[in-house]
Amino acid sequence: MIILFTSVKGGVGKSSIAFNLAAYVNYTYVTNDIVAIDDDTAIQIEPKKRRIPVQLSSEPDIVFDFGAMSTQIDPKVSHALNICDVVVIPTMTDPRSLQATIDTVNFAKEANKPIAIIINNFTNPKKCNQARQHLIRNLGRLPIFAIRYTTLFERVSRDGRDWIQNIHNDNGEHQLNKTRIAHEAIYDEILRLGGAE
C-alpha cells in the first residue's frame, strides 16, 4: 500500500506521524524533507528531482512524507497523489493551519483517493473539537483523527525505528507505550481507508 502524507503547511507533524506509521507496518519511509529523521532506513529524495525515482514507484509498501510548499506545489506531490492508495493531511488547530488543510484537501481531492485528516499536537480538547467542526463545515464529512501533544515523536526522531519497534513497559516507558498503542489504532484506520483487510 502507498500512503501519502502531505500539506501545504509546514511543521504540522507530517514527518513525525509518517515515520511512526512506517515503523509500525515496516514500510519504506520516503521524504522530500531536506532535514530527515536520523534513521538508516529513511530515504530522502533530492528537492530538485521532479519525479519519484522508478525503483521507488515500483515498491509495493511506501509511506511518502512530502511537504508541498505553498507557492509552488512540489511536482512529486502530484505524482504521489496518482500512485497512492490513501492521503493523510496532518493539521494543527490554529486558523492558518486549518485554512492550509482545507486548501490541501481541495487540491488532493482531484486525485479521487481516500483522504484522512489528523488534528495533531493539541493539548486542549475544546480546541480540537472546534477545529473538527470548522473542517466539517468547510469540507463536509471526512475521516478526522486526533493526536495529542506527546514526547513520543521527539524520542523516535532521536532514537529511530529500532527504539519504537522495541519499546517496552519498564524504564518509565509505560506512558509512551500507551501513546504508541493509541496512535497505532489510528494507523490501523488509515490502512483500512487505503484498502487493507
Ligand X SMILES: Nc1ncnc2c1ncn2[C@@H]1O[C@H](COP(=O)(O)OP(=O)(O)OP(=O)(O)O)[C@@H](O)[C@H]1O
Binding footprint of Mg ion on the chain (CB under 5 A):
14-15, 33
Q: Decide which of ligand X, Mg ion, none touches 120; Cβ closer than 5 to 8 Å per partner kind.
A: ligand X
Binding of residue 16 to ligand X (CB under 6 A): yes
Torsion sign (Cα): 79, 145, 19, 165 = negative
String of contacts with ligand X for each residue 19-58, x by CB under 6 A: --------------x-------------------------
Q: Which residue from 154, 162, 174, 178 is in contact with ligand X, where contact means CB under 6 A?
A: 154
Q: Which residue from 6, 91, 101, 121 is in contact with ligand X, where contact means CB under 6 A?
A: 121
Q: Decide which of ligand X, Mg ion, none touches 121; Cβ closer than 5 to 8 Å per partner kind.
A: ligand X
Q: Which of 57, 20, 8, 15 is nearest to 34 (CA)?
A: 15
Q: Decide which of Mg ion, ligand X, none touches 11; Cβ closer than 5 to 8 Å per partner kind.
A: ligand X
